[in-house]
Structure 1
Amino acid sequence: MLTTCRSGLLLVVVSVLVALLPAAPALADYASRPVRATWVPNAAVYAVAVQGDSVYLGGDFTSLRDARTGETVARARVARISLSTGELDRGWAANVNNTVRSMAVAGDGTKVFAGGSFTSVNGQARGRVVALTTGSGALAAGWNASANDTVRSVVVHRGMVYLGGFFTSISGVSRQRAAAVSEANGALSGFDPRADSAVWAITPSVDGDTMMLGGRFTTLRGVARGFLGSVDAASGAVTSWAPPRACTSTSQPCFVLDLVARDDSVYAAVAGPGGRVTAFSASTGAIRWQRTGDGDVQSVAVDDRLVYAGGHFGPGYGGATRYNLAAVAQTNGALDPDFAPVVSNLYPGVWDLVATPSHLVAGGGFTDIGGTGQSRIALLPVIADTTERVLARGSTWRYSTTAPPAGWAASGFDDSGWASGATEIGYGDGDEATDVPRVFTLYARRAFTITSAGAVTGATLRLLRDDGAVVYLNGTEVVRSNMPAGDVTPTTAASTTVADAAESTYYSFALPTGLLREGTNLLAVEVHQQSVSSSDLSLDAEVVVTR
């Protein structure tokens, strides 16, 4: 991943691949602070790679200190700690003579690859890329490749090690800022995208056949591509995927600093005015949504439903208070209300993120997170799962654009003649999953199932509405959001117009657990505009219960 100061004068890049990880957790259950302070590097962590319980760190540090005892142990720019405990692995070490910018674990788990600006490892010449054994940190026998300038990103994919950076040759052969070498021995492959400027991020597409490249380049193989493009994974030939730039600023260009692909989206950490996470369609390249802050987003990671953003932003991100770490919905970029770590030092902030089933791992230049005193590396644990999402965002609802008869919100109402579609349902913003005609009021219904309803101790509705909404649970009104008091008719206007960040905000409301039923329940929502001239309308919702 990469960080830039807001003037754009300083560019520091770190790229990461996490190998051999099981699927990340389905819910946003990471705590906003580590359990306790453990081992603390004495300088920045630029790179994190995870294999099982092992967390590999790369950066500028020359030692780690036990925050509990004060003991200091020398470690020259790479180290390994335990994911579960944070303890330093005293049996794994290597001596690297300059900065490590990126790390990735081999597919078979026997090697860890590091890239950076170093020229010597364990006393032997190594030109900015190296393979170390995962057993001890020794140089991997029979593996050798070198770059003539800094390597900023390292990705392992299908038996190859993909490299991005500032270099113009690999092992003496011309390769303009992107290349691939054999995972087995470092031999150069034919992969040759020929970027005209730095490549800062590389990630494989979901099907694995292409590689997404991000950075500062404007052409790949002479074909115009504005900081982001896609190339064939074997040859480096440019594909037809041609997304637009995330912004049009020329004084603060929206360089792409990190990338991750999931399902039919490519999520980019972007510099430029305010910094942002941008979601691109993996099939068409169109921008699906953007969520901006007040400083660069330098790293991204994903789980089953959220995009985690790290950078040097704060106190503002996505219309709320966030310091250097935030989470947004993959569907529309809405800020997650529960994940709000306070990370010190707005610059340089967080430079790397890895989402695992047990922890969110954050590396960077910060000196504290959540008041724990943990510096430069943080392991944010999954919160014990006492919640269940019984209605998910993006679910398919029944809806009507005409006023329904009385009783429409009751669970026994027959909505089989209504249209159906996934949320967001609406029009006018361009991020809707289901477009509807321009209407003043939209009516929608969705059934969901609860088991062991008697054990539910709390229920929360998170509602995205533009402009206002009235919500019913099993036929009883439970929420009015941005709506006036009194009787509500199809022509009742919302209280205020919704704009900017509020259009993608999920507002939280406690639901009365006494209304919940064993088995099938029914949530009904009517969304009202503030004015007949309103340009957009939106609806999405989720329900989470606690036991």
Structure 2
Amino acid sequence: MKKLVLAIVTGAAVVAAALIPSGPPVVAAAPGFGSAVSAIKQTSWQTNNSVNALAIAGNTVYAGGLFTRIRPPGKAAGQSEVVRTYVAAFNRTTGAPTTFAPTLNGPVYSIATSPDGKWVVIGGDFTVANGLKRSKIAMYSAVTGRIVQAWDPVVAARVKALAISGSTVYIGGAFGRVDGQTRNRLAAVRLLYGDLTAWNPNANNDVYAIDVSDNGTRVFVGGPFSTINGQDHYSLAMVNTTTGAAYSMPAAAAIPKPTVKCTTRVKDIDTLGDKVFVSNGGDGGGCYDGVLAADATTGKLLWQNTCLGATEAIKAIGNWVYKGSHAHNCSSSGAFGDGTGTHYLLVESGINGKLGPWYPNTDANPNSTTKVGPLAMAGTNTDLWVGGDFLHVNNAVQQGLARFTNTPGGAYPAKPKAPTLTSTTANQVRVAFNDVYDVDNLTLTYNVFRGSTNVGSYKYVSYYWEKRKLYSMVDTGVKSGQTVTYHIEVHDGRNIVKGPSVSIKVK
């Protein structure tokens, strides 16, 4: 859950058009971009090390990880830093830090906020929080920022995953005991008191991800485990919220069991409405790394995207699923292949899994412990926050944390080149022009101008990783002997970019 809110073309163009993934193209939205948020990075502070977890409550986003300092946007490492030991909070509107500043003695790997926005639960490797003994888990007031002194479950090892639903906190990780009782990698405590419940799915290996269906009837868990309660449930399971008994989940069969060439496991889970979205990461060439969607009640597989490059984090917003990954080959899903670089940030349709119109990018810090780029996501219907081990976002310095919003405007299309003009027939000019791309739109409008007169308007779908396509039109509104000038203007629904002009004498 993790939310409080829920033509006239040339032959070359015809060939290129055949490479477009199936399904209707996404038309530019009124704000100037095609998905829920723009690809433009908005202002936010940075961290000095990786962000592993994110959660939102009201107008505050909470971040946890390996960092011990935060700094203003645009500042290089070491400049104007402020102490925040492994956890911090930021204003969703401005990206600036709040006064929330717990002191911990170890990293944070998970964060969850209560449905009413009053409580923040953090999990990780720490044993001391705000000077109090705390074994891998602690709760804070979102209103005062103070630790809840009487809330102190004792978890034996790392807490890697958290989810809160109703009056229950669900916990996943590497532990074998909670409050002295056997709880293998999965447990639950009451939100207000912290006392252990009877919920005990008993996973035989670590749990990396946990989330609860929006209607509160299913808990979804993921990780490198192979059994739940002694029964075969490899890497993904759907369990009862009270008893911990596992339901049948047909979609889990889409995750291949380990072989000598491939070991893949669930990395993140996010539910929205009647769907659950699951991301995977694998070891081995061609191993499953993608995202699948399933019915949140029946567990039936709805779709699966098989892009290669482990998907570390996902966030569903409306009909979109944003993913943080190191995708390098999505040819199996009808998109880019190897050789086009690493695509750390992507969006997929929540309806069919096809890649959509959102292509910002990060990098991955080669000196980090993970070296994968994005590691965590959180968002609402107006914003998306991304955390990870990256150093740059959209080629600008921005370490650890990034913010994207639905502020109107979006990215501008690339500047079109001057058209190529030919006149071999009296009273005619053929105007040929290449398409361009836009990192948060697929469908662009190309307006062909003769001087100040628009002589043609065409809509084409462009994917930035493709070889640029060539289109042409014939202008018959000219006279022999005239010298005429043409240029191309590209429109994405809000932003217009004008290309250079070129002239020709009409035959």
Query: 1:292 Cα shift?
Result: 2.6
Which residue identity lines up with residue 32 of structure 1 in the other structure?
Answer: A
Specify which structure has the bigger relative contact order, considering alpha-carbon pairs within 8 angstroms and separated by 6 or more residues. 2
2:397 to 373, 396, 420: 373
- What is the SS of the residue equivalent to 2:392? coil
Structure 1 Cα separation of the partners of residues 305 and 407 of structure 2: 26
Matched residue, 2:141: 133
Matched, 1:260 2:280: no
Query: 1:287 Cα shift?
Result: 3.3
Conserved 8 A contact 2:48-2:69? yes
Matched residue, 1:382: 406
Query: 1:208 Cα shift?
Result: 1.5
Matched, 1:325 2:339: no
Matched residue, 1:231: 239
Which residue identity lines up with residue 170 of structure 2 in the other structure?
Answer: Y
Conserved 8 A contact 2:256-2:288? no
Matched, 1:51 2:57: yes
Correspondence list, 1:534-545, <5 A: none
- What is the SS of the residue equivalent to 1:267? strand
Conserved 8 A contact 2:211-2:221? yes
Query: 1:357 Cα shift?
Result: 2.6
RMSD: 3.2
Which residue identity lines up with residue 62 of structure 2 in the other structure?
Answer: Y
Conserved 8 A contact 1:461-1:509? no
Matched residue, 1:208: 216
1:60 to 62, 66, 81: 66
Matched residue, 1:35: 42
Q: In the TM superposition, what whole-angstrom CA distance separates every residue of 1:239-291 from its partner, at most 9, and x where no partner exists?
A: 23343142345242221111123344321110121511122344554433322
- What is the SS of the residue equivalent to 1:340? coil
Query: 1:304 Cα shift?
Result: 1.4
Query: 1:312 Cα shift?
Result: 2.6
Structure 2 Cα separation of the partners of residues 306 and 97 of structure 1: 37
Which residue identity lines up with residue 256 of structure 2 in the other structure?
Answer: C
CA spacing shift, 1:508–1:48, aligned 2, 3 Å: farther
Query: 1:179 Cα shift?
Result: 0.7
Which residue identity lines up with residue 347 of structure 2 in the other structure?
Answer: A
Q: Please say which of residues 155-164 and 317-326 is displaced more in the overlay.
A: 317-326
Q: Please say which of residues 310-319 and 134-143 is displaced more in the overlay.
A: 310-319
Matched, 1:335 2:355: yes
Conserved 8 A contact 2:315-2:378? yes
Which residue identity lines up with residue 37 of structure 2 in the other structure?
Answer: Y
Structure 2 Cα separation of the partners of residues 110 and 209 of structure 1: 22
Correspondence list, 1:342-491, <5 A: 342-345=361-364, 347-384=371-408, 460=443
Correspondence list, 1:85-96, <5 A: 85-89=94-98, 91-96=99-104
- What is the SS of the residue equivalent to 1:324? strand
Matched residue, 1:18: 2
- What is the SS of the residue equivalent to 2:397? coil
Matched, 1:72 2:81: yes
> TM-score, length-normalised on structure 2?
0.70
Structure 1 Cα separation of the partners of residues 298 and 217 of structure 2: 16
Matched residue, 2:313: 299
Structure 2 Cα separation of the partners of residues 108 and 284 of structure 1: 28
Structure 2 Cα separation of the partners of residues 181 and 34 of structure 1: 38
CA spacing shift, 1:461–1:249, aligned 2, 3 Å: farther
CA spacing shift, 1:479–1:362, aligned 2, 3 Å: closer
Conserved 8 A contact 2:176-2:184? yes
Matched residue, 1:177: 185
Q: In the TM superposition, what whole-angstrom CA distance separates every residue of 1:186-226 from its partner, at most 9, and x where no partner exists?
A: 01111110111111111112432121111111111111111
Query: 1:35 Cα shift?
Result: 2.9
Conserved 8 A contact 1:349-1:364? yes
The count of aligned residue pairs is 386
Q: In the TM superposition, what whole-angstrom CA distance separates every residue of 1:74-132 from its partner, at most 9, and x where no partner exists?
A: 1110111111111111x221101011000111233222100001111111110001001
Query: 1:461 Cα shift?
Result: 8.9
Correspondence list, 1:104-183, <5 A: 104-183=112-191
Which residue identity lines up with residue 365 of structure 1 in the other structure?
Answer: D
Matched residue, 2:110: 102
- What is the SS of the residue equivalent to 2:364? coil
Conserved 8 A contact 2:36-2:317? no
Matched residue, 2:10: none
CA spacing shift, 1:187–1:86, aligned 2, 3 Å: same
Conserved 8 A contact 2:161-2:209? yes
- What is the SS of the residue equivalent to 2:246? coil
Structure 2 Cα separation of the partners of residues 189 and 79 of structure 1: 29
Query: 1:32 Cα shift?
Result: 1.7
Matched residue, 2:454: none
CA spacing shift, 1:229–1:288, aligned 2, 3 Å: same
Query: 1:508 Cα shift?
Result: 12
CA spacing shift, 1:459–1:125, aligned 2, 3 Å: closer
CA spacing shift, 1:134–1:94, aligned 2, 3 Å: same
> TM-score, length-normalised on structure 1?
0.65
Matched, 1:270 2:267: no
- What is the SS of the residue equivalent to 1:362? strand
CA spacing shift, 1:42–1:480, aligned 2, 3 Å: closer
Matched residue, 1:83: 92
Q: In the TM superposition, what whole-angstrom CA distance separates every residue of 1:362-402 from its partner, at most 9, and x where no partner exists?
A: 0000000112211110001214179xxxxxxxxxxxxxxxx
Query: 1:311 Cα shift?
Result: 2.0
Correspondence list, 1:189-200, <5 A: 189-200=197-208
- What is the SS of the residue equivalent to 1:198? coil
Matched, 1:308 2:315: no
Which residue identity lines up with residue 310 of structure 2 in the other structure?
Answer: D
Structure 2 Cα separation of the partners of residues 245 and 92 of structure 1: 42
Structure 2 Cα separation of the partners of residues 123 and 206 of structure 1: 36
Structure 1 Cα separation of the partners of residues 321 and 392 of structure 2: 23
Matched residue, 1:221: 229
Conserved 8 A contact 2:36-2:320? no
Conserved 8 A contact 1:244-1:285? no
Structure 1 Cα separation of the partners of residues 194 and 278 of structure 2: 29
Conserved 8 A contact 2:280-2:288? no
Which residue identity lines up with residue 371 of structure 1 in the other structure?
Answer: N
- What is the SS of the residue equivalent to 1:244? helix
Q: In the TM superposition, what whole-angstrom CA distance separates every residue of 1:467-495 from its partner, at most 9, and x where no partner exists?
A: xxxxxxxxxxx9999xxxxxxxxxxxxxx
Structure 2 Cα separation of the partners of residues 323 and 163 of structure 1: 31
CA spacing shift, 1:283–1:126, aligned 2, 3 Å: closer
